[in-house]
Amino acid sequence: MILLIIFGSSLFCYAIERHIAWISHVSSVCLLILFAMLLSQIGIVPAHSELYDFLQAPIVLLAIAMVTLDFKFSDFIRLPLKIIFVFIFGMLGSILGGLIAGFTAAHELGVDSYKIAAQLTASYIGGLENAAAMQKLLEIPNHYFIGTFALDSVVTSFWLIICIWFANDKGEEFKIADDDGSNFDGVQVSIVSLLACLFVALGIVILAEYAVKYVGFMHKILWISIFALFAGQTPILKDYFKSAYVLGAILFAGFFFSIGAVSDLQAILNLPKTIIMMPVIIIFTHSLFILISARLFKLNKIATSIISQALIGGPGTAVALAQTRKWKSGIAIGIILGVLGYSIANFFGVFVFNLLQYILPK
Q: How far apart are CA 110 and CA 187, in angstroms?
A: 44
Start-to-end Cα distance in the chain: 44
pLDDT bucket at 149, cuts 50 / 70 / 90: confident
CB 355 within 8 A of CB 99: yes
Q: How far is CA 13 from the centre of its chain?
A: 18
pLDDT digits (tens, 9 = 90+) for 153-188: 778 878 888 888 888 877 565 556 555 444 445 556
Alpha carbon of 292 to those of 129, 134, 285, 289: distances in Å? 28, 29, 11, 5
* Between residues 136 and 284, the one the model is more confident about: 284
The answer to which of 66-70, 129-133, 269-273, 340-344 has the lowest mean pLDDT is 269-273
Q: How far is CA 131 from the centre of its chain?
A: 6
Q: What pLDDT was estimated at residue 267?
A: 62
This prediction has a pTM of 0.79
CB 263 within 8 A of CB 93: no
CA angle 67, 344, 287 (to 5 degrees): 110
Reference 67, options 183, 237, 197; nearest CA is: 197
Q: What is the torsional sign of CA 33, 35, 38, 44?
A: negative
Residue 200, class by beta-carbon neighbours within 10 Å (0-12 exposed, 13-18 middle, 19+ buried)? buried
Q: What pLDDT was estimated at residue 185?
A: 53
pLDDT bucket at 232, cuts 50 / 70 / 90: confident
Residues for the chain: how many in total? 362
pLDDT bucket at 82, cuts 50 / 70 / 90: very high
Q: Mean pLDDT of all residues in the chain?
A: 84
CB 306 within 8 A of CB 167: yes
Q: What pLDDT was estimated at residue 175?
A: 58
* Between residues 226 and 13, the one the model is more confident about: 226
Q: φ and ψ at 291, to 5 degrees?
A: -70, -40
Question: Is 191 a residue whose pLDDT tops 90?
Answer: no
Mean pLDDT within 43-68 = 83
Q: What pLDDT was estimated at residue 18?
A: 66
Q: What pLDDT was estimated at residue 352?
A: 96
Q: What pLDDT was estimated at residue 49?
A: 85
Task: Count Cβ atoms below 10 Å from residue 244 Cβ, excluding itself.
Answer: 30
pLDDT digits (tens, 9 = 90+) for 112-129: 999 999 999 999 999 878
Q: φ and ψ at 183, to 5 degrees?
A: -100, 25
Q: φ and ψ at 216, to 5 degrees?
A: 75, -140
Q: What pLDDT was estimated at residue 181?
A: 47
Q: How far apart are CA 237 and CA 244, in angstroms?
A: 12
pLDDT digits (tens, 9 = 90+) for 304-321: 999 999 999 888 778 778
